[in-house]
Amino acid sequence: MSEKMAFIGAGSMAESILSGILASEFLPKENIMVTNKSDFERLEHLERQYHIPYVEDKREAVADARTVLLAVKPYDIKAAVASIRDHLDSDQLLISVAAGVSTDTISQLLGRDIPVIRAMPNTSAAAGESATAVTKGKYATGDHLRTALHLFSTIGTATEVAEEDMHTVTAIAGSGPAYVYYLVEAMEEAAIQAGLGKQTAHELLVQTIAGAGEMLKSSGQDPAELRKNITSPGGTTQAGLEALDKGNFQEAVMSCVETARERSIELGKKL
């Protein structure tokens, strides 16, 4: 079996993962095949951008692949699995990144004992900085799990979680980057309204977020401690945090995570 990898679905998550894989040199571009449903513009974009040959015939794409990565929307999973099911063997590994969709559901759709791993990466994979959680289905072995952990560790961190925790993981880590970007958008807007140039505001915020992330990673301090180190009594930070509290910041964020988690559960049930 070659080390080839086939992508079923050529959208933003597929692009983030494959660009991360290429940058990390986990696989050369010749070993990656990408298919899509009907949007050939996406395939042409990937070919132009990453020189990845696209394949229109799914049989051709999966026949040769050791790993098949399913990166279609949850509502397209049924059709996508149906289109590859007959071309898969039990010595191949199917990895799904679809939000909410359980490994049992995928196994049922496959109707065969193909090993399945469910993964939840995020788009920071493109920068080698995804926080990916993985869980294994009933036909997947420890070796399959290690293969998936290895693959995702080339594009960030990779952690095994229990399948029941995947909805929570999706809410905080899969969707998480979007909440950070939303915060940055709001801070940028406030700075611009106060008269700061857009570019200056943007550059300061990018480094502020990256620096805070680095402190969370490397300081050994928890977030509350790091926050307290910045908050002088009666100072600017305290004033700002009090305004956030007035706007029920914590409740809003907790409701954001809980609502995203519930949506993940719904997406899995809708199939």
Ligand X SMILES: NC(=O)C1=CN([C@@H]2O[C@H](COP(=O)(O)OP(=O)(O)OC[C@H]3O[C@@H](n4cnc5c(N)ncnc54)[C@H](O)[C@@H]3O)[C@@H](O)[C@H]2O)C=CC1
Residues that bind ligand X (CB under 6 A): 8-14, 35-37, 39, 42, 71-74, 76, 79-80, 83, 97-99, 120-123, 174
- Residue pair 72/237 in contact (Cβ under 8 Å)? The answer is no
Token pair in block for residue 258: 């809980």
Kindly list the strands in the beta sheet with 130-136, ordered across the sheet, starting from the edge strand earlier in the chain: 32-35, 5-8, 67-70, 93-96, 116-120, 130-136, 156-160
* DSSP-based helix, strand, coil % in the chain, nearest 5: 60, 15, 25
219 binds, among ligand X, ligand A1CAB, none (CB under 5 to 8 A by kind): none
Nearer to ligand X, 107 or 123 (CB): 123
Q: Smallest distance from the beta carbon of 163 to ligand A1CAB, in angstroms? A: 16
Instruction: Select from 135-143, 168-176, 185-193, 200-208 the region that touches ligand A1CAB (CB under 6 A).
Output: 168-176
Nearer to ligand X, 54 or 201 (CB): 54
Instruction: Select from 141-149, 167-175, 196-204, 246-254 the region that touches ligand A1CAB (CB under 6 A).
Output: 167-175
Q: Within 74-197, where are the H helices?
A: 77-84, 103-110, 142-153, 166-169, 176-193
Nearer to ligand A1CAB, 139 or 179 (CB): 179
- Residue pair 167/190 in contact (Cβ under 8 Å)? The answer is no
Residues paired with 130 in a beta bridge: 156
Q: Which of 21, 99, 110, 134 binds ligand A1CAB (CB under 6 A)?
A: 99
Q: Which of 175, 201, 261, 268 binds ligand A1CAB (CB under 6 A)?
A: 175
Q: Smallest distance from the beta carbon of 225 to ligand A1CAB, in angstroms? A: 29
173 CB-side CA count, 13 A: 22
Other beta carbons within 10 Å of 191: 17
- How far apart CA 153 and CA 227 sit, in angstroms, is 29
| Count of residues that bind ligand A1CAB according to CB under 6 A | 4
39 binds, among ligand X, ligand A1CAB, none (CB under 5 to 8 A by kind): ligand X
Q: Which of 170, 201, 261, 268 binds ligand A1CAB (CB under 6 A)?
A: 170
Q: Within 4-93, where are the H helices?
A: 12-24, 40-50, 58-63, 77-84
Using CB under 6 A as the binding rule, whether residue 62 contacts ligand A1CAB is answered as no
Backbone angles phi, psi at 54, to 5 degrees: -95, 155
65 binds, among ligand X, ligand A1CAB, none (CB under 5 to 8 A by kind): none
Binding site for ligand A1CAB (CB under 6 A): 99, 170, 174-175
